[in-house]
Structure 1
Amino acid sequence: MLVAAAVCPCPPLLVPAVAQGAAPELDAARAACTDALGVLAAARPDRLLVVGPAERSGRGPHPQGAPGSFRGFGVDLDVRLGPATGSAPERPLPPSLAVAAWLLERTGWSAAPVEGLGVGESLAADRCVAAGRDIAARPERVAMLVMGDGSACRSLKAPGYLDERAEPFDTEAARALGAADVAALTALDAELAYELKVSGRAPWQVLAGAAEGADLSGALLYDEAPYGVGYLVAAWS
């Protein structure tokens, strides 16, 4: 049963050591993420499931204590997904879950055991929703930390260059996340999301599947597009 959810962006730049001199530019986003994680802790879940985009799905869950690293971004910084258990396998976290692990360490997460799940960015909407329904079918009280960015085409200097379809897509995604609108999230166009380099589409649709039938209300905590990329933070409770 899903009892709460937090939606956060997953750029490595969220980690100050990676952003370096540009770190203050995302201070507001970090603060919003901290507030969203506070909503998860307040729900007192039995388990926290962290979901984020990955190159592909189906490689199994990442257990608590799974390792992540930002060495690929030129920073000597390692993280763990929740408190180390002493027996975690060494299969590394995808970058999105490494950012989540950093957020959890930063806020001192200890409210519940943690598990990670990487979702292929190309996974079809129906399969994302089905994965979410499986999460909701668990007998335990589950909270979700859902990582993912909006479009990467909001400006001329954006990674995907300027695309006039990007801002309307992000506006609708922000509205749906802020309103906990499960139907609208399920209806997000996967092909358009791919063209706009939206990494959050699949994780958001997993959340939509998990939230079907749950009586949750949403709040949008952050909606900006620094660097031409849509970053959204929301909390459901």
Structure 2
Amino acid sequence: MVPEVGRESSVEVQNSISAMAELTARVISSKAETVVIISPHGPLEANAFIAYDGPKLFGDFANFRAPTTSVHAELDEELLDQITRAAANEHLIVMRIRDFDLDHGTSVPLYFLQRNGWSGRVIALGYSFLSSEDHVRFGNCVRAAIEKLGRRVAFIASGDLSHRLKRDAPAGYNPNAHLFDEEVVEAIRSCTTDRILNIDQEMRRTAGECGYRSMLVAIGATRDLNSNCEVISYEAPFGVGYLVAQLAGSEPPAV
């Protein structure tokens, strides 16, 4: 999706690129001063959620043939402290790591936010190998921390849907992989996101996805808010499902 990485192939994901511009416009309209991003591609810990510590955050696309394309942001340390405390109160661990560049699952959405005009502080998180229920609980903790500070925050769940939608897809092809994507898209389109919690785990494994646990945290962060669910874009030109969607409205946290 990042034009400096995809180059001539970027035209094939123009719908997703345009959707990210639209999403950024909504984040700006919500007056979000901080964006929290959770990614599948950071360092992983079995029993802890990862948080990149600051005070400055940096990422680039050197591993994707675009070393001069980068993102920079200031950490919202006050909110991260509050998230860490809220999680500890629920017996969940936030492991803060220093001297790590942001992973591409964080850098890609941040790239589009900044290139399309948003500026502000960032918290970059990574999910864990804990249960689905624990990921939802962690999302609840993120929301509680935001509400305690009374801050306007956008939450972005990063990650792809199925990686097996075409014969030349990066994880190979499975004729049933599309079922996972269809269930997620329909759950958001109908604003019945709890359906995502109940997705058959064999269906999930068949899809070869990487965004499921990010979505669980987002669902926890947005439950009981005034729902404004919308699928802005979905496409899979390379055999990987790219979804840009909104789960909640302009009341904090907007997702």
TM-score band, normalised by shorter chain: 0.7 to 0.9
Q: CA, structure 1 residues 170+154, in 2 after alignment: closer, same or farther (shift >3 Å)?
A: same
Q: Which amino acid aligns with 1:45?
A: A
Q: Does 1:229 align with 2:240?
A: yes
- By how many angstroms is 1:232 displaced? 0.7
Percent identical: 24
Q: CA, structure 1 residues 61+76, in 2 after alignment: closer, same or farther (shift >3 Å)?
A: closer
User: Structure 2 regions of 5+ residues with no counterpart?
Assistant: 77-97, 250-255
- By how many angstroms is 1:142 displaced? 2.6
- By how many angstroms is 1:171 displaced? 0.6
- Name 2:122's counterpart in structure 1: 114
Moved more, 52-61 or 164-173: 52-61
Where does structure 1 differ by over 3 angstroms across 4 or more consecutive aligned residues? 61-65, 81-85, 189-192
TM-score norm. by structure 2 comes to 0.78
CA contact (8 A) 2:54 2:74 kept: no
Q: Output the CA distance in 2 between the equivalents of 1:166 and 1:72.
A: 28
Could you list the per-position Cα deviations for residues 82-121 of structure 1 after superposition, in whole angstroms to 9, with x for gaps in the alignment? 3689xxx5421111001122112211212x422111224x
Q: RMSD over aligned Cα, in angstroms? A: 2.3
- Name 2:86's counterpart in structure 1: none
Q: Does 1:99 align with 2:90?
A: no
Q: Does 1:21 align with 2:28?
A: no
Q: Does 1:127 align with 2:138?
A: no
Q: Output the CA distance in 1 between the equivalents of 2:179 and 2:75.
A: 41
Could you list the per-position Cα deviations for residues 47-69 of structure 1 after superposition, in whole angstroms to 9, with x for gaps in the alignment? 32111212514332455741112
CA contact (8 A) 1:15 1:99 kept: yes
- Name 1:47's counterpart in structure 2: 34
CA contact (8 A) 1:124 1:190 kept: no
- By how many angstroms is 1:123 displaced? 4.2
- By how many angstroms is 1:210 displaced? 0.9
Q: Output the CA distance in 2 between the equivalents of 1:217 and 1:23.
A: 29
Which secondary structure does the structure 1 equivalent of 2:196 belong to?
Answer: helix
CA contact (8 A) 2:15 2:235 kept: no
Which secondary structure does the structure 2 equivalent of 1:162 belong to?
Answer: coil
Q: Does 1:74 align with 2:65?
A: yes
For 1:1-12, list aligned pairs within 5 A: none
Moved more, 135-144 or 199-208: 135-144
- Name 2:44's counterpart in structure 1: 56
Q: CA, structure 1 residues 17+45, in 2 after alignment: closer, same or farther (shift >3 Å)?
A: closer
- Name 1:136's counterpart in structure 2: 143
CA contact (8 A) 2:54 2:75 kept: no
